[in-house]
Amino acid sequence: MKNVLIAPSVLSADFSCLKSELDSIASANYIHYDVMDGHFVPNISFGPEIFSYCKKSSDLPIDVHLMVTNPSEIAPLFLQRGADIVTFHYEAEVHSHRLIHLIKDSGAKAGISLCPGTPVSVLENLIDDLDLVLIMTVNPGFGGQKFIENTIRKVKRLRKMIDDAGTHTLIEIDGGVQGETAPRLVKAGADVLVSGSYVFK
Ligand code: DX5
Ligand code: ZN
């Protein structure tokens, strides 16, 4: 049985007791940290200051998911504060290759995320450089949404692309991951499962 990594999303945590919420997920593999700018997605979450608080309050690596229009300007704010993984949206960045290498040169792992409507084929020339691909299985912007069923096909296609390329790129899944969808996603090829509402609520 393959080892699947779990990344609870603090978006669904109770912020009135953030420290104890972080303690409650100490056995997970990563903290998933959703940054929303109210422009790339129709919601605003939190920024670098709360990130620093999470960083000092937990020993887990933090996986920063940038849902912002200008990721090359925002990524450094999290890299400077010790982000372990920085993932930006393909749809938001023209110079993906440059940003991947900016992230890696800072010592973090680099990921690209795809919205449900973006095919995995856009990653063909980037896959060798990527540590992680984040497949959105809901439209980004909110926790607790319904899983979009046809994204499973994308996960299978991406699994094949990575296996054919012979890279160690991880497939991370974000949105609507719970008891019923998780095993199907792992079977399709997922390595990392993000979960917000299912873990915290
Ligand atoms: C949505 C975020 C997710 C969100 C997932 O845009 O990227 O990380 O927290 O929440 P659930 O697991 O509740 O779908
Ligand atoms: Zn996310």
Helix, strand, coil abundance in the chain, percent, nearest 5: 40, 20, 40
pLDDT the model gives residue 1: 67
The residue from 37, 63, 174, 191 that is catalytic is 174
Q: Is 24 in the pocket of ligand 1 (CB under 6 A)?
A: no
The pLDDT tens digits for 88-111 are 999 999 999 999 999 999 999 999
What ligand has the least distance to the C-alpha of 12? Answer: 1
pLDDT the model gives residue 2: 81
What is the Cα–Cα distance from 151 to 140, expressed in whole angstroms? 13
**pTM attached to this predicted model:** 0.98
Q: Is 174 in the pocket of ligand 1 (CB under 6 A)?
A: yes
pLDDT the model gives residue 102: 98
Q: What is the number of other CB atoms lying within 10 angstroms of the CB of residue 80?
A: 11
The percent of residues in the chain predicted with pLDDT above 70, rounded, is 100
Mean pLDDT of the region 62-88: 98
Q: Is 71 in the pocket of ligand 1 (CB under 6 A)?
A: no
174 as an active site residue: the answer is: yes
Look at residue 67 and tell me whether its pLDDT is greater than 90: yes
Per the prediction, the chain carries an average pLDDT of 98
The percent of residues in the chain predicted with pLDDT above 90, rounded, is 99
34 as an active site residue: the answer is: yes
Using the atom order of ligand 1, give the atom closest to the CA of residue 175: 14
Mean pLDDT of the region 42-47: 98
What is the Cα–Cα distance from 136 to 139, expressed in whole angstroms? 7
Q: Which of 40, 85, 145, 200 to mutate to test the pocket of ligand 1 (most atoms within 8 A of CB)?
A: 145
Using the atom order of ligand 1, give the atom closest to the CA of residue 144: 13
Name the residue with higher pLDDT: 2 or 23.
23
| CA dihedral sign of residues 82, 87, 89, 93 | positive
Going by pLDDT thresholds of 50, 70 and 90, the confidence category of residue 35 is very high
